[in-house]
């Protein structure tokens, strides 16, 4: 008898799995490699919304859980995952500069914004209106994290590379039966794969496709992240991620020509040096209408849960939300109403 079946080993699935393994639970994790959001993510953790200079939802609190979580995984997996890296926001007008300083009136935001404007950060990235620096930001190498964590799950013999077939799941005598496995509980961490999940697919999960270009530029020599209309994210060895795009309509997993052209056009106005495109990746963000996660227990099937809806901020949200879900299941601590799927009472 298992304690938990997990479906999905993206940022949500590994945060949930880690919490359960830590408390000695007997789990199995199904992963079918159908979704790539967590693998292709930029991995940026940045509490500030760089359009409006406001704090993202509970981001300062999430940061306090996320960084120790990824640090502990670095030790466990013996892999370097975190690169602390400032984000430089390019200003396009005096008004934007003023908004930056006005935002600093709020102490919660001021903690992350540098009061000094920087006129030049790199000769290949000119700005007529300088840059502002966001502090306490960085990047998690999510591709490496997922590779290493899935390998760790395989070593524990709890990882099953297989499509979880929702219609094969049976509930009998308060336990779930799935292809010979019996489990007290099941948690779906299936990201945009939830669209195929008959138990939760009425929840308002609107996938949002994101794409990055990978470029190589020997001349750029940039070691910080830069945000203008798009991000430039250094990967090392003269490689950079450029993006990302946001597309609510296209739900196909493949990279597109449209996104490539859009990103190239933006990039050419941002940097002045030569580069070549060496790759392009795409994934579907599990985005929600109210931009809050979807967490909680199915109203009809007791013991069945979902942990989803991390949108464009899975790196920061994942560890906090996974902890809240497990605290609810194991200790009865209520899930906050703003993330609880009960807010969509009629949908599951």
Ligand X SMILES: Cc1cc2nc3c(=O)[nH]c(=O)nc-3n(C[C@H](O)[C@H](O)[C@H](O)COP(=O)(O)OP(=O)(O)OC[C@H]3O[C@@H](n4cnc5c(N)ncnc54)[C@H](O)[C@@H]3O)c2cc1C
> Could you say which of 20, 43, 66, 121 contacts ligand X (CB under 6 A)?
43
Pairing type for strands 239-243 and 205-216 reads: antiparallel
Q: Is 12 in the site for ligand X (CB under 6 A)?
A: yes
> Could you say which of 2, 20, 30, 295 contacts ligand X (CB under 6 A)?
30
64 φ, ψ (degrees, to nearest 5): -70, -25
> Could you say which of 22, 23, 26, 33 contacts ligand X (CB under 6 A)?
33
Encoded tokens for 48: 């500030």
- Judged by beta carbon, residue 97 or residue 260, the one nearer ligand X is 260
Q: Is 11 in the site for ligand X (CB under 6 A)?
A: yes
Q: Is 293 in the site for ligand X (CB under 6 A)?
A: no
**DSSP structure string for 25-54:** --EEEEE-----HHHH---EE-SEETTTTE
The count of residues interacting with ligand X (CB under 6 A) is 42
**Least distance in angstroms from the C-beta of 23 to ligand X:** 20
For residue 194, what are the CA distances in angstroms to 12, 35, 105, 198, 246? 13, 10, 41, 8, 19
Total residue count of the chain as it appears in this document: 348
For residue 85, give every residue at least 6 positions away whose Cβ sits within 8 Å of its Cβ, in sequence order, or none: 137, 138, 139, 223, 224, 225, 234
Q: Is 311 in the site for ligand X (CB under 6 A)?
A: yes
Q: Is 189 in the site for ligand X (CB under 6 A)?
A: yes
Q: Is 57 left (phi over 0), alpha (psi -120 to 50) or beta?
A: beta
**Least distance in angstroms from the C-beta of 101 to ligand X:** 26
Taken in order 100, 101, 103, 106, the sign of the CA dihedral is: positive
Q: Is 192 in the site for ligand X (CB under 6 A)?
A: yes
Q: Which stretch binds ligand X (CB under 6 A): 19-27, 83-91, 121-129, 188-196?
A: 188-196
Site for ligand X in 157-186 (CB under 6 A): 163-164
* Contact residues: ligand X, CB under 6 A: 7-13, 30-35, 37-38, 40-44, 163-164, 189-193, 210-212, 244, 283, 285-286, 308, 310-316
């Amino acid at each position: 008898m298992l304690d938990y079946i997990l479906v999905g080993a993206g940022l949500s699935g590994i945060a949930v799995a880690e919490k359960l393994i830590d408390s000695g639970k007997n789990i199995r994790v199904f992963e079918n490699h159908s979704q790539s959001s967590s693998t292709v993510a930029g991995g940026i953790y940045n509490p500030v919304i760089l359009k409006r200079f406001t704090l993202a939802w509970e981001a300062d609190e999430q940061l306090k859980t996320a960084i120790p979580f990824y640090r502990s995984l670095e030790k466990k997996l013996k892999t370097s995952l975190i690169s602390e890296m400032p984000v430089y926001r390019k200003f396009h007008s005096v008004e934007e500069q003023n908004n930056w300083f006005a935002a600093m009136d709020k102490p919660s935001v001021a903690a992350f914004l540098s009061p000094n404007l920087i006129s030049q950060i790199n000769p290949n990235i000119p700005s007529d209106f300088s840059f502002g620096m966001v502090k306490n930001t960085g990047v998690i190498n999510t591709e490496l994290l997922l590779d290493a964590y899935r390998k760790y799950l395989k070593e524990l013999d709890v990882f099953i590379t297989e499509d979880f077939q929702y219609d094969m799941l049976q509930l009998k005598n308060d336990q779930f039966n799935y292809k010979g496995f019996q489990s007290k509980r099941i948690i779906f961490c299936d990201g945009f794969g939830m669209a195929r999940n008959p138990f939760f697919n009425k929840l308002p999960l609107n996938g949002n496709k994101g794409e990055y270009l990978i470029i190589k530029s020997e001349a750029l020599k940039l070691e910080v992240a830069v945000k203008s209309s798009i991000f430039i994210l250094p990967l090392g060895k003269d490689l950079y991620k450029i993006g990302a795009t946001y597309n609510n309509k296209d739900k196909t997993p493949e990279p597109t020509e449209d996104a490539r052209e859009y990103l190239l056009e933006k990039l050419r106005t941002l940097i002045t040096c030569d580069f070549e495109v060496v790759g392009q990746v795409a994934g579907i963000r599990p985005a929600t209408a109210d931009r809050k996660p979807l967490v909680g227990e199915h109203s009809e099937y007791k013991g069945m849960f979902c942990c989803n809806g991390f949108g464009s901020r899975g790196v920061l949200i994942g560890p906090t939300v996974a902890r809240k879900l497990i605290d609810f299941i194991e200790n009865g601590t209520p899930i906050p109403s703003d993330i609880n799927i009960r807010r969509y009472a009629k949908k599951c």
